Structure 1
């Protein structure tokens, strides 16, 4: 029996909490409601922990996440191109950048590292599920291709009509801003998936049970022509998908900072920063229990972001969706769309699975956008229902999201 807060509420309301559940299920209820992962769960004894994410060997840095910086900056330029009207981009413009990593205005972004190849590409979720990976990649191809039609429209956006709203919002015929779906969807499909489901699964080996990278780390064996072990580098690459683009970031790192505006979650950035530092220090010290405890903290804390921000934008949209002009809610709803899409890439350390499966995430997106008229068919009541479905899988409430 899968236990969520919603399940618990139903069981209590119907008086079946102890008659319909086994003792194991009752224990699961307690686990879900009490489950949390903070820095206090990491045994740091024996570790030398620096103030910042700075690690050296022979007085030279061992930290390298340049590939992640490149891809995150590629995303920024592609996203900006999605709202460029003078001139309007072509399909080739998008394909060159997203698929081929060519023709970037910033020529340093041209090369072998492209964004598309890393979308839905983690060993944890997609090593034996290429059909799901291909379908997700196709979603992002569609956001780019379909945006061309929106940009070409000279109409004011309306139900059934793609165009511009409020002089700056490019809405499709159902009210969605494709650039917001692109950005917020990549928070999960690129940054979160690569961090939580890929590199954290590739620290000991190539997800094949050989422990080859752990053996090399124990022996201090460095990657050829580099100053780091493979395990160190993979931990850095996970870090890079969060922090690699600095202030220019539009994905996970950006919303890690923005979530401080929700007071209940304001401590997450500091927890995440320190968990990364502790985890990397544990790799250096070959203290793998401490490393894995830090990873649990990171998976737990980072997985809150798409849920907390998705519900935040659903709640924000409630204020205008039933108003005289429902389009005023569509920017927030477009952001919520992308965050909800990203839920399938989260990682729950209690179950070692995403908080929402791909099917469950898609079902939520369908409830938000899948009707004939998309956002134009929504009501405040529907947005509240969606908010409740999301927080039911987490250990926080709608009220806490709104704080």
Structure 2
């Protein structure tokens, strides 16, 4: 059963407190709750919470995240071209789809909504740093453009030479340093598109347009709907954050996919359920105008989602380590996992730490991690020791361990 269909078994129709300390209870001061980390940290005793993400006004849905579904579908087609050899895509093929939203095989994806404009575009991180935003967009332009030469190469991939590498029944396309651009593209967009838009953009535009005017909160309090729509701006912005996680149920290759996949790591088995329920709670709180509950849900979602690129990045680093450590093995067999790790590490700069209201890693810190992993001759130079060092560098900023990740 997919996480969008989970029943909120812990929440009765009239709303039940998940459990939280009352004002008279003495909390363990050695482990204070800085922010909600689990559903039990949110008091919903005065809130009616539905069992699914279903919200209506006058018997008509108030939910709309169609724009997010469109962009996630565009990402899938663009990413598919990165491994297309018949025919090999052109620069125009990529720029039309990524920049202009034209030329899609699915004609419904053509139009005003494009992926590139939403890459590294949150008000929270990039409103005052357009230079960095442009630099990050250029990274993704490069993944697309540089892949053309890899696909055109008639060489077998080797150190310093881009080309193909056949492993079992799979053909991999490595650049001269062993990186698969399609993995950098997809895993990097988990952060640069979906996490950034959800955690740093729309969650920062619930009360107002990030300008301290409280305009959207005032409209929500007065039940003022967007012209021609059945929702308030605050409701819609919450739905758009939700849409970047759940907007392409069953076919998503970005955050929604890895939110579900992380269930396979024992320590994170409950993460998908927690995130989904927190989204439902926050949306219900907006309807009820219980903004303290909404804000608690925001912090919980930010905390839980921000663990995903870290946990998955470490997972793939450790998965590659056995092959890298084996002197008799072909290192190239580890490059697919390392390419996935590369993309997840890149995504760390878009996370949100509720304790500091900053990303868990800055852009400069992410560049340093990637330089350690991918410097020199890239993956051809990497050692098992380096993989452990990068793993340790990542968990140092989180509250879990490498052992938790690989269980």
Task: Give per-residue Cα distances to partners, 1:37-82, cap 9 Å, x unaligned.
Answer: 1111111122111111000000000000000000000000000010
Contact 1:282 1:288 in 2 (8 A): yes
Q: 1:33 offset after TM fit, Å? A: 10
2 CA distance for matches of 1:99 and 1:334?
24
2:31 & 2:121 partners in 1: Cα distance? 31
Match of 2:320 in 1: 317
Pairing 1:205-354 to 2, within 5 Å after superposition = 205-323=208-326, 324-354=329-359
Q: Residue 386 of structure 1 aligns with which residue?
A: 390
Tell me the distance in 2 between the aligned counterparts of 1:46 and 1:209: 28
- Counterparts of 1:78-227 in structure 2, within 5 Å, are 78-166=78-166, 167-227=170-230
* In 1: Cα distance, 2:358 partner to 2:380 partner: 34
Contact 2:35 2:296 in 1 (8 A): no
Choose from 386, 394, 406 the match for 1:402. Answer: 406
Q: Distance in 2 between matches of 1:290 and 1:336?
A: 35
CA positional deviation for 1:370: 2.2
Q: Deviations over 1:170-211 (max 9, x none)?
A: 000000000000000000000000000000000000000000
1:31, CA displacement in angstroms?
A: 6.6
* 1:375 aligned residue (361, 379, 388): 379
Separation in 1 of the partners of 2:220 and 2:214? 10
What secondary structure sits across from 2:322 in the alignment? helix
Going from structure 1 to structure 2, the CA distance change for 1:44 and 1:245 (only over 3 Å counts) comes to same
Q: Distance in 2 between matches of 1:97 and 1:52?
A: 34
1:55–1:33 CA distance, 2 compared to 1 (3 A): closer
Q: Secondary structure at the match of 2:183?
A: helix
5+ residue gaps, structure 2, are 1-28
Q: Using the alignment, how far apart are the partners of 2:390 and 2:256 within structure 1?
A: 25
Corresponding residue SS for 1:191: helix
Question: Which secondary structure state, in structure 2, belongs to the residue aligned with residue 94 of structure 1?
Answer: helix
Structure 2 CA distance for aligned equivalents of residues 189 and 46 of structure 1? 36
The separation in 2 between residues aligned to 1:36 and 1:308, in whole angstroms, is 19
TM-score normalised by L of structure 1: 0.91
- The answer on whether the counterparts of 1:314 and 1:387 sit within 8 Å (CA) in structure 2 is yes
After superposition, the Cα gap between the structure-2 partners of 1:273 and 1:335, relative to the gap in structure 1 and judged at 3 Å, is same
Bigger shift: residues 92-101 or 31-40 = 31-40
Q: Is the 8 A contact 2:259 2:272 kept in 1?
A: yes
Structure 1 unpaired stretches of 5+: 1-28
- Structure 1 CA distance for aligned equivalents of residues 187 and 48 of structure 2: 36
TM-score of the aligned structures, taking structure 2 as reference length: 0.90
* Partner-residue secondary structure (3-state), 1:170: strand
The superposition leaves residues 204-253 of structure 1 with CA deviations (integer Å, 9 ceiling, x where unpaired) of 00000000000000000000000000000000000000000111100000
Secondary structure of 1:74's match?
helix
For residues 320-351 of structure 1, what are the alpha-carbon distances to aligned partners after superposition, in whole Å with 9 as ceiling and x for unaligned?
01332100110000000000000000000000
- Structure 2 match to 1:360: 365
Alignment CA distance shift 1:151-1:283 (3 Å) = same
Cα distance in structure 1, aligned partners of 2:262 and 2:248:
18
Query: Do the aligned partners of 2:260 and 2:272 also contact (CA within 8 Å) in 1?
Result: yes
The one-character-per-residue Cα deviations of 1:143-167 (angstroms, maximum 9, x if unpaired) are: 0000001000011111111011115
Matched pairs, number: 374
Aligned CA distance change for structure 1 residues 40 and 290 (closer, same or farther; 3 Å):
same
How far apart, CA to CA, are the structure 2 residues paired with 1:316 and 1:342? 19
